Chain A
Amino acid sequence: MSNTRIQQRMDALKASGRKALIPYIVAGDPTPSITVPAMHAMVAAGADVIELGMPFSDPFADGPVNQRGAERAIAAGMTLPGVINAVAEFRKQDDQTPVVLMGYLNPLIAMGETTFCEACENAGVDGLLIVDMPPEEEGSLVQSAKRHGLDLIYLAAPTTTDARLETIGNATSGYLYYVSLKGITGSSKLDTHEVSQRIAHMRQHVSVPICVGFGIRTAEDAAAISTTADGSIVGTVLVSQVEALANQPEEIPAALQAILQPMRQAMDAKA
């Protein structure tokens, strides 16, 4: 497990003194055919890792923006095998950029956790982030994921106790996803000073890279977070842009690029 694509990418960034820019979009939103072009466009704009949402009908830990993204994807016919196929398609042109699938447990149970992990490995998926599976509830998925070389990325929150941080730090691989707000994806408050202090504290308990998500909307946010975190995860602002262009999907790749490029520049300027 020491040289997964995610770990290689994180090590390389560290060696060059740069921070990870990690965009999130929902696979199949607003239509399955745009997902792979959007992924390539985000890489061209400087994305280091791509988080791809597996749409679920009841994403109760997400904000309304991401929920609508999932609803559009499901309505457009996106399924879990469809998400994995999109990664396989992406891999035909890009065997460097790590891809993390993010979502909820029930669709994985429906597909069968072993079948799912095997398909992920074959398609070139690198990691999984299952929002509603804390370490306490990890079951057969963990074994399957390990067997198929998939990193399991866990969440930490401002309210996570030190004891739990140890547990989560031990369970997570690739990176730790720090939820910068108590609230749900897409809330508007972001206190970069508080986040910095918190990251410094977490490093006492966690050895993997710490990337920060929730509430990063602007290039300034991304740069400020990157001064202390190992990466900035950008989701809601991208999904909002997809929503705005839901009727002109061909314009989405360029529009995502236009949001990510200034973030990349601002982050690298601080590096």
Chain B
Amino acid sequence: MALTEQELRTLDYEPDAGGHFGDYGGRYVSETLMAALSELDQNYQMLKNDPEFQREFDADLATFVGRPSPLYHAQRWSNAIGGAQIYFKREDLNHTGAHKVNNTIGQALLAKYSGKPRVIAETGAGQHGVASATVAARLGLECVVYMGADDVERQSPNVYRMKLLGAQVVPVESGSRTLKDALSEAMRDWVTNVDNTFYIIGTVAGPAPYPQLVRDFNAVVGREVKWQSKEILGRYPDALVACVGGGSNAIGLFYPFLKDTEVAIYGVEAAGRGLSTTEHAAPLCSGRPGVLHGAKTYLMDNSDGQIAHTHSVSAGLDYPGVGPEHAYLKDIGRANYVGATDDEALAAFHEVSEVEGIIPALETAHALAYTKTLAATMRPDQTIVCNMSGRGDKDIFTVAKMEGISLT
């Protein structure tokens, strides 16, 4: 199924009218959701070319988020590794501390332009919930965030942040009381209140058109890297690396480079306690195609087709599915998907904190771990851009706890 380089350079990398990326994606949902998804699709296809909408989106990215984010040369770390020059795309410097806000601003603006005064979101660790609550406050929209009851207990600082921002946080008691239950509950809310409600999905997963629109809103990351690398290096980087949970920061970086086949692309999944164990969250590395949460994609399930419990040290990567466009890029051979274990990610978390003065998010630490491996195989005149997708302030309690350190 892998395509030739010539084919990869000329593909348009857009989904078909039904939202399919090759065999993947689509709209595998109950009929109760179809009307809402078609309305969203129509609104999006219209607004994405609307100059007024784009102007407002760009203005918010500039003055509210603080874009463009810098492309930073991690010189000491590059020298220590002794291979390729490593650059960080500093999404961690965005308002709210990660790439997530690029997408939530886009979707909240869609809500506003579509005349929906209420937004809802699901959240696992709370990052997407905070980013949604932030933009809802900015635009004066009512905001309800669904969060698994267990996550509400584990992530109390983010729950408080969302409340400070004026959002209502609804703990979901059903099922495993985590992200997937929050997602189901948000779906229920949406089909019941679709007339006045916009559902802000946090990643490039889910039914069409979400994978496409979330990608488009995050693609600002890759577009900036294109001109920044030209400016700084005089050419494109030799390789791009990003972590992949649902895959929104990764696709945002990759998408503008897909036709530039001289640029190698690496997505790094959470290998947890190892890809040879069952305790990981790496559907592209060791799952198989199936249907989950409205899209056909790679996922982790058991032999009966029941969705597997996943494990990762990083809450943001702890998801059994992945965005359908990544499934497509894997099959056609445009992107490589690899894993980094909990231990490798933790080691990179410490190393980059100490050597570069940047505390990365644990999700990002997976990308950093693979960047280190890859850099060591490359020459010093070659370059890697690694997406520093988020900052690690939110993770210091997790890391301290794992290392037996009490912070209170």
Contact = CB atoms under 8 A, between A and B. Distances in A.
Interface in A59-92: 59-61, 63-64, 67-68, 71, 74, 79-80
Contact-size category for B: 35 or more
Most B-side CB within 10 Å, residue of A57, A133, A154, A182: A57
Given A60-B184, A67-B184, A160-B35, A131 B305 contact: no
A104 interface: yes
A80 B30 CA distance: 20
A149 to B, nearest CB: 23
Contacts of A154: 31
A168 to B, nearest CB: 7
Interface in B74-94: none
Contacts of A37: none
B372 interface: no
A139 B306 CA distance: 21
B26 interface: yes
B192 A106 contact: no
Interface stretch (A3-11, A108-116, A198-206, A260-268): A108-116
A58 B35 contact: no
B184 A183 contact: no
A61 B187 contact: yes
Nearest to B309: A57
Contacts of B294: 60, 132
Interface of A: 56-61, 63-64, 67-68, 71, 74, 79-80, 104-111, 131-134, 136-137, 154-157, 159-161, 164, 168, 179, 182-184, 187
Interface of B: 18, 26-36, 174-175, 180, 183-184, 187-188, 191-192, 194, 289-294, 296, 299, 301, 303-307
B49 to A, nearest CB: 24
B304 A107 contact: yes
A63 B188 CA distance: 8
A136 B305 contact: no
B34 A183 contact: no
A60 B31 contact: no
B304 A110 contact: yes
Contacts of B36: 159
A109 B306 CA distance: 11
Contact of A159 (B34, B183, B296, B306): B34
